[in-house]
Structure 1
Amino acid sequence: MADTESLYKRKVYLLAQTFFIKDNRDELLLCAHKYDFDIQFFDQMAEFVHTAVQADPEDLFVVDLDVLYNMQLDNNRTMFLGDLLKRLPEQHHYVYLQTEKQSGRFLLQKMLVDNNCLAYAEKPIANDVLVDKLFNLFAQRKRDETSQVLYLGDQVRFDTRLLAQQQVEIIHHPDVQTLHLLVKQTQPDVVVIEDSHYLRTEVIARVLKKNIEVDPSMEIIMLQARPDPTLARRAIESGFDELMLVKDTDVLTWQLLNRIGKIRVNKNLISKDRATGLLNKIGFKKRAQDVIRRAGREEVPLALAVIDIDKFKTINDTWGHYFGDIVIKRLSLVVGSHMLEHDLLSRFGGEEFVMLLWNCLPAAAQERVNKMRLAFGEIAFEVSQQETRHFSFSGGLAAYPDFKTENELFLHADAQLYEAKQGGRNRICG
C-alpha cells in the first residue's frame, strides 16, 4: 500500500543511536510522509556513509551527535567529532542534532559550520517540529523557478551574469512614468530604484504598492549612490522596504541574491501543498494568472481541468485517513508524470486537483486527461494482505480563450466536473 520508494521523491537519511530510532521512528515517518518525504534510519556509521555517497545531493543528511558516545575506531579509541566529520562524504552538507551542553560550546558550533554544516538544532526537539524544520530546509534549497527584478535607473549596477546563473532575470527600465504598468504586467519579485529617479518622483513606491493587482510580497529597494540619512528616512516612510548603498558589484549582487533567496523560501512555503509538493490554491491562482497573461500575448490556447477522486469519503471512512493520503499521493504522481514543461498542477484541497495545460486545444485536453484517468485506474491499492482495490476520478474541462480569466475557467470546469459526477463518475466532461 505504501511503497515509499516510489511515493516520496525526497529523502532524509538519519544517523542516530539505536534507542533514538526505536523511540521515534514511527512518529517521524508519519510526520515526514505528511510533508512529502521519507526517512531512512541508520545506527551504523559505515552503512550511513555508503548510502550517502550514492544518494541524491538534493536529499537531506541528518546526524545525531550522540552517536559519538557509542562508536569506536579500529584501535578501540572512542570516535571524536573530528573523526566523525572526516568520515562524512564531502559532497554533502549535514544537519546536526546536538544536546544543550553541546550547543553551548561555541568552538563546537564553529567546527560544524566549518565542515559542511547545512543547519543544526538542539535536542530535545519534538518530532513534528523537527520534520517541519527539515521541510523548510528542502524549501530553501529548491531553485526551480526564475525570479524577476525590475531595475529603474540609468545603468544596471548588478552582475547580470551572476544573477542569471542563480535564475534571476533583471529587466532594465529607465522610465519612472511607466514603471507601474510594467510592474503590473510582469509581477516581479523585486523592484530596484536608483535614488536619482526616486527624487524625480518620490511617490513612486506608494503608486506601486497601492495597486491591488500587484503581488503583496514584492519588495521595493532604493539604491543610494552615497549615504544620506535624510533621504533614507524619506524613502522608508514613502514605502521602500530596503536601502542598498552602491558599492562593489559582487557585494551588491550577493546582497540582492540574499534578499531574493528569502523571498523564494517564503513564496515556496506559502504556495506549496506540503503533502504532495504541488502548488496549493494560492500558488496556483498566482501562477495561473501569469500563464493566462502570457497566453494572451502569444495567442496560445489553454485548457483548465478540475479532477476529483470518486467516493473519497468512503475511502477515508473504510480504510482510514492515512490510506486516503496514500491515494492522494499516488494520484499526484500519476497526474504529475503527464505534465509538460509549461503546464501547472495544483492540489486545491482535499481530493481535488486542478491543472492548466499550455498550448492545448479542447480535444487534446480531453485526450490527455483521459489518459491520466485510465493510468490512475490501473493502480492496484493493497487494502489488506488478501485484497486490492482500484479507484477512479472524475473531471471537468474549460478552454481559454472561450473563458478569459482563471476564475471563469475554474467555475466552468467545476460545473463540468459536477456533470461527470452526476453522469456516473469515472469520466471527463467538457
Structure 2
Amino acid sequence: MSDAPLYKNHVLMLSQSFFIKDNQAELLLHAHKYDFDIVFFTEVCEFVMAVANDEGDGLYVIDLDTLHNMQADMQDGRRTLMLGELLQRLPGDHSYVYLQSARQGGRFLLQQRLVDSHCLAYAEKPIANDVFVDKLFNLFVQKKRGDLVRMVVLGEVDGLDDAALLQERLEVVRHADAQTLHMRVKELRPDLVLVTDTEYARTDAIVRVLQKNIEADPVREITLLQRHPDTALTRRALADGFDTVLAVAEPGLLEAQLVNRANKIRINKDLIGKDRATGLLNKVGLQRKAQDLIRRAALEGRPLAFGIIDIDKFKTINDTWGHYFGDIVIKRLSLTLAPQLGEWDLLSRFGGEEFVVVFWDCTLEQGHARLDAMRQAFRAIPFEVARGDLRHFSFSGGVAAYPEHKSENELFLRADAMLYEAKQGGRNQVCTEPAGRCRVAMAH
C-alpha cells in the first residue's frame, strides 16, 4: 500500500454550521473531482493545531458564523470566542480564506480587520457547492509562485539591492550604453526598462527607439527614474513614450515601488498570456516563452522536446456528462501534468482540450518517455461521473525535437502530425518519429 495521499491538495475548514446549499457529501464530491480534499473542524483549538502542523500547501477556510454559534452555546457552559481572540490564535505564518454573511460583508471595518489579519481572500455566503469549490481551485492556482520579472537598468542607480529584488522574483540586469540598449532589450525581452534622467538627458531618443520597434512588447513598461523634480522634463519624457516616472527616494522605498510595478506587470502578463481556467500558459504566453527557450537552447547547444496532448473523445465527455464536467477533466489534467515539469519546462493549455508541453534539455527519446509517463498518470485517475460511477479517460500525444526542427512553428506542425498518427492508431498513446518512423507507446 502506498503512503501517498489520495488527493494532491487539501482544505482545512472551520465551520460549525454547514452553510452550503446541499450537504458535506455533495461538497466533497465536487472537491474530489478537482483533486483536493476538505477536512472539516468544529473546534477552534483542533483547527489551529491542524493548521500549525500542516506541512503541505493547503488552504485554510474559516466560517465567521463559528463565532456566532459559540455565543449561542454559552448556555452549555462554553465561553464566547471573540473575533480578536480567534485572529490571535491563528498561526501567523499562514493565510486564511474567510467566509461571511452578506450582513457581515457590508461592514467595512470588519473587512479591514480581516484583510489586515493574514487574509488570502474573503467570500460571502450563501454560495453553491460547485461555485465555492471552483473558487478554491482558483486560489490553489493563484498561490503558485509568480513568474520571474526581468528589469534592464540603464544608468547608475545607487543603493539598489539586486539580491533583495531577486527574492521578490524581480531580476535586475544592468546596462551601461544608451546606444546599444535597444539591442540588449531585443536580446533579453525584459518586462521593465528603467532609465535614469541623466541617461535620458544625454540621449533623449532612447524610449522612442524602444517603443517604435514593431516587435515591442505591449506589456513592457519603460520607466524614467528622476532624481530632482522637473515638471518640464516629466512632460517631455511622457510625450516621448515613457510609461511612468518614478522619483528617486530612499533605496528601500524605490525597491518597494519597483516590486509593486513588477507585481502589476506580472498580473497583466497573466491576463494576456495565461489561461484563466487552469492558470497555465495560453497560446500567446506559450509562443513568447517557447521562442525564448529555443533561442536559449541554440546559445547553449541543448536539445528540446516539444509535445502536443489532446484528450481522447472529449466531445463525447461533454455530450454525455456536460460541459461543466468537461471543464473538470481539463483542470484535473492540468493538475496531473504540472507537478511533472522541470524548472525550465513549459506547459500550455493551447486551446480547448489541447495542451502543449516543452521539455528543456531533453532528447526526443526522453521527451517520449516523459510524455508517456504523463499519459499513464492521467489514465490512472478515477473520475466520479455520478455517485459510485467511476470512469477513466485518456489522452493521445505527439512529440517533435529541436534541433531537428528549428522553429516553434516547425516543432508544432511536426508534433501535431505525430498526434494525428496517435489518434489514427487507436488513441491513448504517444507517437514520435525518430529516423523517419513512428514509435508508438501502446495503451495500457
Q: CA 1:375 to 1:134, structure 2 compared with 1: closer, same or farther past 3 Å?
A: closer
CA shift at 1:241, angstroms?
1.7
What residue is the counterpart of 2:319 in the other structure? 317
Q: Closer, same or farther in 2 for the Cα pair 1:111/1:357, shift >3 Å?
A: closer
Deviations 1:95-150 (A, max 9, x none): 43445665565654554455434455566778888778767765665325322110
Q: Give SS of 1:68's match.
A: helix
**Local SS of the residue matching 1:227:** coil
Identity of aligned residues (%): 58
Higher relative contact order, structure no. (Cα contacts within 8 Å, ≥ 6 residues apart): 1
Distance 2:244 2:26 in 1: 42
Query: Which residue in 2 is equivalent to 1:366?
Result: 368
Cα shift at 1:347: 2.0
Code of the residue aligned with 2:152 in structure 1: it is L
Query: Residues 64 and 26 (structure 1 numbering): CA distance in 2 closer, same or farther, change over 3 Å?
Result: same
2:54 aligned with 1:52, yes or no?
no
Stretch of structure 1 that moved more, 296-305 or 150-159: 150-159
CA distance in 1, matches of 2:254, 2:283: 35
Preserved CA contact (<8 Å) 1:34 1:275: no
8 A contact 1:278–1:347 mirrored in 2: yes
Q: Is the 8 A contact 2:33 2:384 kept in 1?
A: no
The SS at the match of 2:356 is strand
After superposition, the Cα gap between the structure-2 partners of 1:390 and 1:89, relative to the gap in structure 1 and judged at 3 Å, is closer
Partner-residue secondary structure (3-state), 1:148: strand
* Cross-structure match for 2:178: 176
Verify the 8 A CA contact 2:16 2:66 in the aligned structure 1: yes
One-letter amino acid matched to 1:63: I
Alignment of 1:167-316 (within 5 A): 167-316=169-318
Moved more, 101-110 or 163-172: 101-110
User: What is the 5 A alignment of 1:30-429?
Assistant: 41-56=40-55, 58-72=57-71, 76-98=78-100, 102=104, 108-109=110-111, 111-120=113-122, 141-155=143-157, 157-379=159-381, 389-427=391-429, 428-429=431-432
The answer to whether the 8 Å contact 2:17/2:65 transfers is: no
The CA distance in 2 between the partners of 1:32 and 1:211, in whole Å, is 48
Report the Cα offset of residue 29 of structure 1: 7.3
State the shift of 1:94 in Å. 2.7
Number of residue pairs matched?
A: 425
For structure 1, which segment, 185-194 or 420-429, has the greater mean C-alpha deviation from structure 2 after superposition? 420-429
Shift of 1:170: 0.5
Q: Contact 1:95–1:118 (CA<8 Å) still a contact in 2?
A: yes
| C-alpha displacement of 1:184 | 1.6
8 Å CA contact 2:175, 2:181 repeated in 1: yes
Q: Is the 8 A contact 2:100 2:123 kept in 1?
A: yes
The structure-2 alpha-carbon separation of the partners of 1:23 and 1:128, relative to structure 1 and needing over 3 Å to count, comes to closer
Aligned partner of 1:305: which letter? G
Deviations 1:212-257 (A, max 9, x none): 3232111111100111111111112222122111121111111111
**Deviation of residue 270 (structure 1)?**
4.1
Q: Would you say the 8 A contact 2:311–2:394 is kept in 1?
A: yes
| 1:304-337 per-position Cα deviation (integer Å, ceiling 9, x unaligned) | 1112122222233334445444543444344445
Partner Cα separation in structure 2 for residue 381 and residue 118 of structure 1: 30
User: More deviation in 238-247 or 54-63?
Assistant: 54-63
Distance in structure 1 (CA, Å) of the matches to 2:300 and 2:248: 38
CA contact (8 A) 1:139 1:265 kept: no
CA distance in 1, matches of 2:388, 2:66: 41
- 1:172-228 deviation per Cα after TM superposition (whole angstroms, max 9, x unaligned): 001111111111211112110001111222232232222232321111111001111
Are the aligned partners of 1:60 and 1:94 in contact in 2 as well (CA < 8 Å)? yes
- Rounded to whole Å, the distance in 1 between the matches of 2:276 and 2:31 is 10
Q: Which AA in structure 2 matches 1:241?
A: D
Q: Deviations over 1:275-319 (max 9, x none)?
A: 444323232222212111111111212121112122222233334
The one-letter amino acid of 2:65's match is: D
AA paired with 2:200? Y
Label 1:266 to 1:135 Cα distance change in 2 as closer, same or farther (>3 A). farther
Q: Distance in 2 between matches of 1:204 and 1:125?
A: 52
State how far apart, in whole Å, the 1-side matches of 2:134 and 2:233 are: 42
The aligned counterpart of 1:21 is: 20
Structure 1 portions without partners, runs of 5+: none
Letter in 2 for 1:61: Y
Q: Aligned-pair distance for 1:366?
A: 2.8
Q: What one-letter code is carried by the residue in structure 2 that aligns with 1:116?
A: H
Query: How far does residue 368 in structure 1 lie from its aligned partner after superposition?
Result: 3.0
> SS at the partner of 1:364?
helix
**2:50 is matched by which residue type in structure 1?**
T
- Aligned counterparts of 2:272 and 2:11: Cα–Cα separation in 1: 22
Distance in 1, matches of 2:355 and 2:402, equals: 18
In 2, the alpha carbon distance for the partners of 1:300 and 1:33 equals 40
